[in-house]
Structure 1
């Protein structure tokens, strides 16, 4: 009888140790997974470097939503230790967006409230930007306005300039956009 009680006690103890260890392992993996995803999102958002060379204009085409805004220039951004976005959307469910039609060389910003602006014709250039005096990719519109195209990939685009007037009044200069379509 003592052997039976000893065996049952030992099996209960062993079973609780296994369950406890498994619970800790699952919790640890869940925490690690969360940190990895969170880190990846942050790294992708403001891991910005200027494109080396000409960017294909077709990469700019599509609908882009504004997901981050930096109040300052690209040079200030490079020196800033805390590069997090100061952007807080006032949109709720919707979002501010910019639609580029690269095949027709025009774009328009669209506020989340549905206030459309007119389509604006632009020229996509690679050369000496008249504003920065540097060789870079830029968009010229309304004959004397310039937006620097810092970089574009298949998911994100970073632009510098007076892109959305309603945000520019607060000092916004660097925009992080995420591709929607």
Structure 2
């Protein structure tokens, strides 16, 4: 009888340890999830941590749809308790997009899928960005425009800088793009 009572007590103790450990793991994962993703726009998440190290240039290749613009820089975004997208597209049909051809180091912004815009040359670099003075991945467009690549994956890309002049004049500096091709 003593063995059965001791066995039940041991099982109860182990079960409570497992439950408390599982609770700690879930809480830790929830905190980690909050630190790596902050808000969504149309189901696309804004990342809040900069890419560590050099990004492969081929990752920017393709057609990217602009789905969000944050009025402020990356530092203001990370400190904002409730960041929201302030992007309002003027497109009745279609959407604003940017097409990157990494093999030729060229890109072109296309307004509402219709405007014919010529290709512009860029330099993809990893090092000390002359504007931010930080070591990061960035695009050098012309000789004076620097666009920081905050984060990129196979679905989204976040860029910081004067990417779209019309948005930059109204304070937009952080751009969320979704890959469509």
- Aligned residue number for residue 93 of structure 1: 93
Supply the distance in 2 between the matched residues of 1:88 and 1:141 (Cα, whole angstroms): 25
The answer to which structure has the higher strand fraction is: 2
Supply the distance in 1 between the matched residues of 2:50 and 2:67 (Cα, whole angstroms): 19
> Structure 1 residues 44, 114: closer, same or farther in 2, change over 3 A?
closer
Question: C-alpha displacement at 1:153, in angstroms?
Answer: 0.2
Aligned residue pairs total: 143
Question: C-alpha displacement at 1:93, in angstroms?
Answer: 2.8
- 1:48, 1:158 within 8 Å by CA — same for their partners in 2? no
- Aligned residue number for residue 135 of structure 2: 135
Supply the distance in 1 between the matched residues of 2:160 and 2:41 (Cα, whole angstroms): 21
Query: What 5-or-longer segments of structure 1 have no aligned partner?
Result: 1-38
Query: What 5-or-longer segments of structure 2 have no aligned partner?
Result: 1-38
Alignment partner of 1:131: what SS? coil
Larger Rg: 1
Supply the distance in 2 between the matched residues of 1:113 and 1:126 (Cα, whole angstroms): 31
Alignment partner of 2:170: what SS? coil
Supply the distance in 1 between the matched residues of 2:141 and 2:47 (Cα, whole angstroms): 27
Supply the distance in 1 between the matched residues of 2:85 and 2:105 (Cα, whole angstroms): 29
TM-score between both structures, scaled by the size of structure 1 = 0.74
Root mean square deviation, CA, Å: 1.7
Question: C-alpha displacement at 1:121, in angstroms?
Answer: 0.6
Supply the distance in 2 between the matched residues of 1:148 and 1:141 (Cα, whole angstroms): 11
Supply the distance in 2 between the matched residues of 1:112 and 1:44 (Cα, whole angstroms): 20
- Aligned residue number for residue 8 of structure 2: none
Alignment partner of 1:91: what SS? coil
TM-score between both structures, scaled by the size of structure 2 = 0.74
Q: Residues 3-33 of structure 1: CA distance to partner in whole angstroms, max 9, x if unpaired?
A: xxxxxxxxxxxxxxxxxxxxxxxxxxxxxxx
- Aligned residue number for residue 29 of structure 2: none
- 2:67, 2:178 within 8 Å by CA — same for their partners in 1? yes
Indicate whether 1:67 and 2:84 are aligned.
no
- Aligned residue number for residue 17 of structure 1: none
- Aligned residue number for residue 82 of structure 1: 82
Greater shift, 109-118 or 79-88, is seen at 109-118
- 2:101, 2:107 within 8 Å by CA — same for their partners in 1? yes
